[in-house]
Amino acid sequence: MAQRLDGMVTLITGASSGIGEATARLVAERGGLPVLNGRRAERLEAIAQELPGALAVQADMRVPEQVRQLVETTLEHHGRVDALVNNAGQGLHLPLEQVSLEDLVAITELNFYAPLVAMQAVIPAMRNQGKGAIVNISSGTSRMVLPGVGITSVSWTGSIYATATPSIVASS
């Protein structure tokens, strides 16, 4: 039997397509209240209209103030955040010698800094609630050494290791 998520407020980054969109649809199907985040406002609104109780909040996860505002908007609308699904991310599949510093900065901002800022923004509310869950979605490439994906692997690996810390901190 599938777990019910009745009334569970779940903030999902990167919800305008792929895994994020599928997660939002599953949350709604199981009775939860999905908060959809992404950069494409029109796409988010279209998905939100299909899902009961959904809220669409456009924000660029590479901009820390927009991430904090996303969490604040969720709290203002629902009064709580029960779960955060850090799904927004990007791959960079280039040989190392072709990776520009701008590409490295952009992918690090999205795959590593953004999940960290989002976790920092939701943890105080989750602590006050006495519970909460954080799920960081990354890439299987973070556990492999493959030609052309080294930079992606590095950015996701940082996110994986950072994930262990909030579960320890939240319980203290």
Reported as a single tens digit per residue, the pLDDT across 116-171 is 999 999 999 999 999 999 988 876 555 556 555 555 555 555 665 566 655 544 44
Cα–Cα distances in angstroms (integers) from residue 9 to residues 29, 39, 165, in the given order: 13, 20, 22
Give the pLDDT score at 95.
77
Give the pLDDT score at 103.
86
Q: Considering the domain 9-170 in this protein, what is its CATH number?
A: 3.40.50.720
Confidence of residue 172 (pLDDT cuts 50, 70, 90): very low
Its pTM stands at 0.84
C-alpha angle with apex 137: 159 to 7, nearest 5 degrees? Answer: 120
Quickly list H helices, the chain.
18-29, 41-50, 64-78, 101-108, 114-129, 150-170
- Radius of gyration over alpha carbons of the chain, in Å? 16
Element holding 135 (H helix, E strand): strand 133-136
In angstroms, the CA 147 to CA 35 distance is 36
pLDDT above 50 (res 25): yes
pLDDT above 90 (res 44): yes
